[in-house]
Amino acid sequence: MSDRRSESMIDLCEQEQLAFLPWAPVQETDKNVPVRVAAERHGVTQHQVVLAWLLATSPQILPIPGTGSPQHAAENIAAASVELTPDEVDAISKGGLPIPAKPMNSGWLRRQIAGVFGNRQMG
C-alpha cells in the first residue's frame, strides 16, 4: 500500500491488458487508519481490506498473498467478496502514502538520500 513506485507500471498494464502482481501487498496495513476503520465496518481483517482495495484499484492487479494455513488461504480468497465504497477506496489510497517511520534526524533520512543520489559522502 505504501509503495507507489509501480503506479506507472499499473497504468501500462491497463493499457496493454496485462496482469500486475504486487509484491508484498499486505505489508504495513496497521499504519493505515482507513484500513482499520473499513475492516471494523465490514467485519473482516485488515489484510482482507487491503486485498479488496488492490482489486478495486485496478482490474489488472492480481494480488497473490502468501499464506501459512488453509484458514488464512480462505480469508485471502474471501477478500475478493469485500466491496469497498468509493470513499473507502479513496481514504485508503490517501492513507497509504508513505510516512517516515523514524524521526527525520535519524539515519533514515541519510539512507533515503543515499538511495536517490548514490553513496556520496554526506556531511
Give the pLDDT confidence of 48-68 residue by residue, as tens digits.
Answer: 999 999 999 888 888 888 788
pLDDT of 19 over the 80 cut: yes
d(CA 73, CA 53): 17
Question: Is 22 within 8 Å of 54 (Cβ atoms)?
Answer: yes
The residues, ordered by sequence, that sit 6+ positions from 50 with a Cβ below 8 Å of its Cβ are: 1, 25, 26, 29, 32, 35, 92
**Helix orientation angle between 46-57 and 86-95, rounded to the nearest 10 degrees:** 100
Listed range (15-19, 27-31, 40-44) with the worst mean pLDDT: 27-31
d(CA 7, CA 85): 21
d(CA 92, CA 31): 11
Q: What does the pLDDT average to over 17-29?
A: 78
| pTM of the predicted model over 0.85 | no
